[in-house]
């Protein structure tokens, strides 16, 4: 999976699906320089090709690469996601919806992901040999054999079964699956405090979306907040993800193994039809 979905998958796989909006098909990009700066004024006066070329700040791109390296260095962790997203009504009024996801990860090949919306819950288990999707409200589940890394699993579920994991790009950044050649603009937008942590704030633009990310300062630049703006809609609906990290989790390895509840029904996982 590529970062085409970083903005969307991080806060869309669960969030946008829960909120009834569709994520644009694009990859992480970068925003134009601030008009308040002299360099931005000069860029505005320059030919389009020059302005576009100067819009991508290499330091902002490097910050994404550092984030990817930090993510790939994590071996065992928990991360909880608070997701909100806007749905635009026909008259232009916006409704905000919320959802939550909790991930337990033991790299390279174990994962438990619980997602919850006001409508339903879903739990994904992966123990390195089998992946199971449980739907507790209906008490049924689907399972298929699989072996590979969590990153491999994320991509295979998406392409073969249309199943998206919340924050899936956490497993793509820092790997060859995270290209940077589609950024239209990128900049450092200063610093802010998110959840009590000092963060570096970066803004990006790509085809169809603007997105902003706040990375914790220091030697472990993990994402703390993500905001995505859909440019394909004149109402510019936004989605937001807040990350809560636990890098010293206490979960047991048994967390990744699915055990059916009494009366649970097994159903087939239906592959996506290929055109």
Q: pLDDT digits over 103-144, tens only?
A: 999 999 999 999 999 889 999 999 999 999 999 999 999 999
Mean local confidence (pLDDT), 160-187: 89
As a whole-number percent, the residues of the chain with pLDDT over 70 amount to 80
**Contacts within 8 Å (CB) and 24+ apart, 88-92:** 88/21, 88/233, 88/235, 88/237, 92/235
Residue 1: the pLDDT is: 30
Q: How far apart are CA 192 and CA 201, in angstroms?
A: 7
Residue 54: the pLDDT is: 57
Residue 201: the pLDDT is: 98
Q: pLDDT digits over 33-75, tens only?
A: 222 322 333 333 333 433 445 599 999 999 999 999 999 999 9
Q: What is the mean pLDDT of the chain?
A: 83
Mean local confidence (pLDDT), 254-262: 96
Q: What is the CA angle 241-207-29, rounded to 5? A: 55
* Cα separation of the two ends of the chain: 19
Q: How far apart are CA 240 and CA 7, in angstroms?
A: 9
- Beta pairing class for 140-145 and 265-266: parallel
Contacts of residue 174, defined as CB under 8 A and 6 or more positions apart, other chains included, come to 65, 67, 68, 69, 70, 71, 72
In order of their start, the domains of the chain are 3-32+43-266 (2.50.20.10)
Q: pLDDT digits over 212-229, tens only?
A: 999 999 999 999 999 999
Tokens at residue 200, please? 């570096």
Contacts of residue 61, defined as CB under 8 A and 6 or more positions apart, other chains included, come to 30, 180, 183, 186
CB 187 within 8 Å of CB 60: yes
Higher pLDDT, 54 or 31: 54
pLDDT beyond 60 at 27 = no
pLDDT beyond 60 at 4 = no
pTM of the predicted model as reported, rounded to 2 decimal places: 0.80
Q: pLDDT digits over 181-213, tens only?
A: 789 999 999 999 999 999 999 999 999 999 999
């Amino acid at each position: 999976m590529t970062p085409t979905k970083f903005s969307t998958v991080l806060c869309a796989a669960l969030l946008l699906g829960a909120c009834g909006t569709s994520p644009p098909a694009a990859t992480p990009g970068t925003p134009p320089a601030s008009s308040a700066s002299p360099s931005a004024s000069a860029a505005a006066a320059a030919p389009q090709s020059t302005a576009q070329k100067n819009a991508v700040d290499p330091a902002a791109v490097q910050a994404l690469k550092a984030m990817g390296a930090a993510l790939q260095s994590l071996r065992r962790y928990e991360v909880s996601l608070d997701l909100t997203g806007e749905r635009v009504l026909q008259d232009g009024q916006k409704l905000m919806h919320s959802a939550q996801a909790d991930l337990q990860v033991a790299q390279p090949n174990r994962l438990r992901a619980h997602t919850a919306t006001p409508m339903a819950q879903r739990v994904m288990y992966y123990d390195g040999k089998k992946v199971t999707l449980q739907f507790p409200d209906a008490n049924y589940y689907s399972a298929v054999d699989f072996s590979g890394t969590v990153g491999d699993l994320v991509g295979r579920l998406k392409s073969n079964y249309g199943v998206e994991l919340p924050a899936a790009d956490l497993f793509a950044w820092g790997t060859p699956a995270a290209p940077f050649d589609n950024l239209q603009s990128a900049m450092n937008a200063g610093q802010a405090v998110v959840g009590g942590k000092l963060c570096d704030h970066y803004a990006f633009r790509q085809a169809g979306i603007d997105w902003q990310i706040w990375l914790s300062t220091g030697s472990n630049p993990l994402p703390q907040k993500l905001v995505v703006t859909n440019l394909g809609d004149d109402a510019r609906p936004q989605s937001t993800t807040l990350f809560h990290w636990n890098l010293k989790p206490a979960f047991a390895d048994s967390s990744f193994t699915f055990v059916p509840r009494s009366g649970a029904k097994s159903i087939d996982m239906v592959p996506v039809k290929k055109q």
